[in-house]
Amino acid sequence: MSDPFDKDISASQWPKPEDVSLDLDEVLSGILSLRSEIPEDAFTASTLGTERAGHGVLINQDGLVVTIGYLIMEARTVWLVDARGRAVSAHVVGIDQETGFGLVQALDGLDVPPVEIGCSDDLKTGDPVILAGHGGRSSAVMSRVVAKHEFAGYWEYLLEEGIFTAPPHPFWGGSALIGEDGTLRGVGSLFLQQVLRTGKPFDGNMVVPIDLLPPILEDMVQYGSTRRPSRPWLGLLTMEADNKLVVTGLANGGPAEEADIRVGDLVLGIDGTPVSELAGMYRAIWAHGPPGARIPMTVLRDGTQMDITVLSANRTDFFKAPLLH
């Protein structure tokens, strides 16, 4: 797999003011640089690092910024830099594990206009969009929506409909997906190289749709998370390969490791229901109720079929406290 960071964005990919109807410079000025520091003994430090960098999008005049949650998970300090080069400290407001969104609050004024929240449902395959990071036009890619469909991540994550865009942005984390009207349509999450459901090879980004934010925004601001029940978490890293589900990693001290699930196991079923793809496995696990539910699993290890019950947990209970400031 090639490294998407090995080159800058080509000038031919930059959005040009004459090609769009929005005030390009004004909209892009609302995209901030975000840097966070995480304690070395934090649960996610070994996988996500102790120094993280990406982007955030200012969404109101009061300094509320939306980003992608992995950038600020267990963060001890957060700094934002605006389009004028001014740095301000911020604190974590909330993280939603289901959508992947994170919110931070600037602790001083940001002298840039917020980006208006738009509607991601309106986007259609083939629509032109801009995927933009902090830094103006030279940090933005004129792109298109390549597909919209379900996305299952190996870290126990499922979106009913992710947005897939190409060409890719080389520094995608927390970037802003901007529609033709200048509104925010999503937040950049991943770089992917895979074959889409259409059968076409894909080299681009997966974006979390912004329509998932308004229903949870008030709860996140008030409580730091949503009030819906948490999903049971096993601490599994699982990949699809040849219609099989292969355990490729385990959260240190997580429920699956404690139950003696091992790297290399093939997951065959959940509570007697056969599974062969991630989305189906997750739905079967989550159907058992909230964290603390016992999840009966059937795995194949070295040619031997085994039944193992995993006592699920709440993912956030493993994060370094306090998660929110």
pLDDT at 186: 98
Q: Which domains does the chain have, with CATH numbers?
A: 11-17+119-212 (2.40.10.10), 22-114+217-223 (2.40.10.10), 236-316 (2.30.42.10)
Q: How far is CA 253 from CA 16, 64, 319, in A?
A: 50, 34, 12
pLDDT digits (tens, 9 = 90+) for 90-109: 999 999 999 999 999 999 98
pLDDT at 7: 53
Q: Read off the tokens for 269.
A: 């079923």
Range in 17-31, 52-66, 242-256 with the lowest mean pLDDT: 17-31
pLDDT digits (tens, 9 = 90+) for 124-151: 999 999 999 999 999 999 999 999 999 9
* Secondary structure of residue 222 in the 3-state scheme: helix
Average pLDDT over all residues of the chain: 93
pLDDT digits (tens, 9 = 90+) for 196-218: 666 777 899 999 999 999 999 99
pLDDT digits (tens, 9 = 90+) for 140-179: 999 999 999 999 999 999 999 999 999 999 999 999 999 9
Average pLDDT over residues 59-78: 96
Which band of pLDDT confidence, cut at 50, 70 and 90, is reported for residue 321? low
pLDDT at 1: 32
pLDDT at 193: 87
Task: Using the predicted structure, report yes or no on whether residue 324 has a pLDDT greater than 50.
Answer: no
Average pLDDT over residues 77-99: 95
* Secondary structure of residue 44 in the 3-state scheme: coil
What is the value of pTM for the model shown?
A: 0.93
Total residue length of the chain: 325
Report the C-alpha gap between 30 and 116 in whole angstroms: 10
pLDDT digits (tens, 9 = 90+) for 213-239: 999 999 999 998 898 899 999 999 999
